[in-house]
Amino acid sequence: KLTVPDIRARKRRDGAKPVVCLTAYTVLTARLLDAHTDLLLVGDSLGMVLYGLDSTIAVTMDMMIAHGQAVMRGTKRSCVIVDMPFGSYQESPQIAFRNAARIMKEVGCAGVKIEGGVEMAETVKFLSERGIPVMGHVGLMPQSVNTAGGFKAQGRGDVEAQRIVVDAKAIADAGAFAIVVEGIMEPIARRITDEIDIPTIGIGGSPACDGQILVTEDMAGLFTDFKPRFVKRYMDLGSGLAEAARLYADEVRSGTFPGDEHCFGVVKKTPKHR
């Protein structure tokens, strides 16, 4: 299994290959993705993708733990990281530690991810010095949707751009092992990647980032409520699943399914009585 130090060492400027990351919320997706990824993130985006919430704000510790456990059962190779949900870490380093430790104990994952910049640096340091590897997350931070007023690309102006660079550096200096850079202007993601010593994982970041991440249901075409610019759809599994449901419904309604081969104890071909 890939460890946190394995991921931490993946700086492309040192010749490393890009870190391939995807989200996973269930054992089924974890099993399908694991052979192809380096890191699986149990993202709190599950609140929107699986539960139909408008944002990630309402996601709970119990939800993250249940899905984290499912993903661990389906993973052999990838490093599994679990998002800390809104409200579980912002209050103090001590409360963050208590909740992160609960995730580590109950899930058995390799580390946790928290959103935030300078204001979270003390917490990142507190956790990582006490045995809990932390992945950072700067730029577009979905847990700040209410203060930001929506999900918008970050760092358009010079002042905002500089703030994101300062945030990323603070999290790296505090001891994070990697950092997600989401929804920021490409030159800023490139600059952060150049200026910090831990891998940057881009989503709406830059091809220069040390790794990339997408939400699996977005890239597979299963979640189609909206498509941010940074999502690339590699398949249309949503249409495939809907088509399977349509075929099944037709066959049930017409009496074609189930056939004798799907039934137990059918002794001989008899005319169907339906």
The answer to whether 118 and 161 are in contact (CB under 8 A) is no
Partner that binds at residue 24, options ligand KIV, Na ion, none, CB closer than 5 to 8 Å by kind: none
The answer to whether 205 and 184 are in contact (CB under 8 A) is yes
Task: Compose the 157-196 pattern: x for residues touching ligand KIV by CB under 6 A, - for all others.
Answer: -----------------------x-x--------------
Indicate whether 45 belongs to the interface with ligand KIV (CB under 6 A).
yes
**Catalytic annotation, pick one of 182, 243, 251, 261:** 182
Indicate whether 216 belongs to the interface with ligand KIV (CB under 6 A).
no
The site for ligand KIV, by CB under 6 A, has a size of: 11
Decide whether 112 or 170 has the Cβ nearer to Na ion: 112
Indicate whether 44 belongs to the interface with Na ion (CB under 5 A).
yes
Decide whether 86 or 126 has the Cβ nearer to ligand KIV: 86
Give the CB-side neighbour count of residue 3, counting CA atoms within 13 A: 3
Decide whether 23 or 206 has the Cβ nearer to Na ion: 23
- Closest distance between ligand KIV and the C-beta of residue 192, in Å? 15
What does the alpha-carbon distance between residue 84 and residue 59 come to, in Å, rounded to a whole number?
Answer: 9
Indicate whether 217 belongs to the interface with Na ion (CB under 5 A).
no
Indicate whether 43 belongs to the interface with ligand KIV (CB under 6 A).
yes
Nearest CA among 47, 117, 38, 48 for reference residue 81: 38
The gap between the terminal CA atoms of the chain, to the nearest Å, is 53
CA distances from 44 to 8, 11, 23, 209, 256 (A): 22, 26, 9, 22, 42
Give the CB-side neighbour count of residue 163, counting CA atoms within 13 A: 13
Amino acid at 184: I
The answer to whether 182 and 218 are in contact (CB under 8 A) is no
Decide whether 44 or 210 has the Cβ nearer to Na ion: 44
The site for Na ion, by CB under 5 A, has a size of: 3
Active site residue 243: no
Q: What is the DSSP letter of 16?
A: P
Indicate whether 213 belongs to the interface with ligand KIV (CB under 6 A).
yes
Length of the chain: 274
Contact set with ligand KIV (CB under 6 A) = 23, 41, 43-45, 83, 180, 182, 203, 213, 215
